[in-house]
A and B are shown apart, each in its own frame.
Chain A
Amino acid sequence: MDTKETVLSILSDLTGSDLSNNMDENLFDDGLLDSMGSVQLLLQIQSEMGISVPVSEFVRSEWDTPNKIIAKVDSMK
């Protein structure tokens, strides 16, 4: 699976919504993600893709839409 598919599947598990048509939706404004969800996201990225992201790397404004998350993950590969 490529990054996009993996990230979308993690997000759909976490938020209960399919976001493939809302790639620029702000996940925090909509209440789909919160701090708890963010940590789960980081842990899932680590376990499914082997990319470890320290919590201090997590700046909300850089991780708030599916597109941004995918770009972030790609940049850390």
Chain B
Amino acid sequence: MLSFTPYENPTYFVILGIALIPLVIGLLYGKRSHLYETLVSLAFLLLTFGGPKWSTQGVALVVYIIFEMLLTWGYSVYRKRGQNKGYIFYFAVILAILPLTIVKVTPAVDGGNNSLIGFLGISYLTFRAVQTIMEIRDGTIKNFSLKIFIPFMLFFPTISSGPIDRYRRFEGDFTTVPDQDKYLKMLGKGLHYIFLGFLYKFLLAYFFGTILMPKLAHTAMIHRGGFLDLSWSVLGYMYCYSADLFFDFAGYSLFAVGISYFMGIETPMNFNRPWQSKNIKDFWNRWHITLSFWFRDFIFMRLVFWFMKHKTFKKPTTTSNVVYFINMGIMGFWHGVTWFYITYGLFHAAALIINDAWLRYKKKHQDSIPHNKFTEYFAIFFTANVVCFSFLIFSGFLNTLWFTK
């Protein structure tokens, strides 16, 4: 049986293109067929998780979905009865992230073996499930429906790596049809995104990741022995890895958003010129946006709210600094339980704290600190380099450099 990793090869795009034709024609005439959408989704889920991957991935996905479905549905029934106990809410959230936690911790405690319950995209599905539970608690999702939740969770263009949509936003698009003018514009944009994605993923990421990076890795390994085993090749690797990471992931995200647009769903963008960020905070508003905003809205703001309401810390700056560490620490941990992912998270927490302190200092001393075109370009250059350094940590290459023979 045919089996694909989403957006990896031309055949996938051809099959996808053909499957979408009836859907596009329908939307152009103002009709949305949930039946056809379900069939297409099922077909593509089978292509991704079925066949040879059924026993290692497919079964895990099915069990996971049933589990999260029962959990969110159960919690929504509980809330509809007017009940709102804190411990029930925390329990529901803990249950919702339990499968993901097991998947992330297993390799670290079981000698690198992967957990049996894992499948491609489990973390992205968990983000969607957790935010749904949180919004049900807040009462912003009032009429929870499995008819929305299931297509939301299993929306196949974004299933493997996001972007992470929001329940209410998805519901709005999924239950309506864009008018013809708007839909035509979405088709144009979608097509543009997909072709830009080809350029990013199949040309640029291929060049940086597949052609250049192994060479740099090789020379860097040969030139070990100096201070911290560093060499110019390590620096080259840092920039090359960063370019590969960006073009590969931004390319994938462009495909996911482009295909969503074809289906009349305005999945949010994941990148907005991150290399033009003027500071690290600005960077997180531009890089992997849907993840960073998810962390902002469901971890950072909620924890700050909780700490400030309970007056845990005297000063607001202490609160935000502590929460930066928790927030970015969890983000690092989420990437995987290795020293380099967790260090990456903590490094960004430190960078955000220093940046905040600098912004406060700058505000106080506005008159004595120069501000001109040069300082603006310098800020962009400096930010990009801090980010690339963090990606060198993230890449795990330092682990190879320092700890392998």
State whether B308 touches A40 (Cβ < 8 A).
Answer: yes
Chain A: which residue is nearest B307 at the CB level?
Answer: A39
A2 adjacent to chain B (CB < 8 Å): no
Nearest Cβ on chain B to A57's Cβ, whole angstroms: 6
A75 adjacent to chain B (CB < 8 Å): no
A76 adjacent to chain B (CB < 8 Å): no
One of B11-19, B132-140, B247-255 at the interface: B132-140
B302 adjacent to chain A (CB < 8 Å): yes
Selected contact of B363 from candidates A16, A56, A57, A58, CB within 8 Å? A16
State whether B135 touches A56 (Cβ < 8 A).
Answer: yes
B301 adjacent to chain A (CB < 8 Å): yes
State whether B138 touches A58 (Cβ < 8 A).
Answer: no
Chain A residues closer than 8 Å to B135, beta-carbon distance: 56
B94 adjacent to chain A (CB < 8 Å): no
B8 adjacent to chain A (CB < 8 Å): no
A side interface size, CB within 8 A: 15
A50 adjacent to chain B (CB < 8 Å): no
A16-B363, A55-B297, A56-B135 known; A36 and B140 CB under 8 Å? no
State whether B309 touches A43 (Cβ < 8 A).
Answer: yes
Selected contact of B305 from candidates A16, A34, A42, CB within 8 Å? A42
A40-B316, A56-B135 known; A35 and B296 CB under 8 Å? yes
A:1-54 near B, CB below 8 Å: 16, 31, 34-36, 38-40, 42-43, 54
The CA-CA distance from A57 to B302 in the complex, in Å, is: 12
Chain A: which residue is nearest B317 at the CB level?
Answer: A36
Selected contact of A56 from candidates B297, B316, B319, B320, CB within 8 Å? B297
The CA-CA distance from A2 to B272 in the complex, in Å, is: 39
State whether A54 touches B301 (Cβ < 8 A).
Answer: no
17 inter-chain pairs at a CB distance below 8 angstroms, sorted by A residue, are A35-B300, A36-B304, A36-B316, A36-B320, A38-B301, A39-B304, A39-B305, A40-B308, A40-B316, A42-B305, A55-B301, A55-B305, A56-B135, A56-B140, A56-B297, A57-B140, A58-B297
Interface residues of B (CB under 8 A from A): 134-135, 138-140, 281, 296-297, 300-302, 304-305, 308-309, 316, 319-320, 359, 363
14 additional contacts (CB under 8 A) given A35-B304, A55-B301, A58-B297: A16-B363, A35-B296, A35-B301, A36-B316, A38-B301, A40-B308, A43-B308, A54-B140, A55-B138, A55-B302, A55-B305, A56-B135, A56-B140, A57-B138
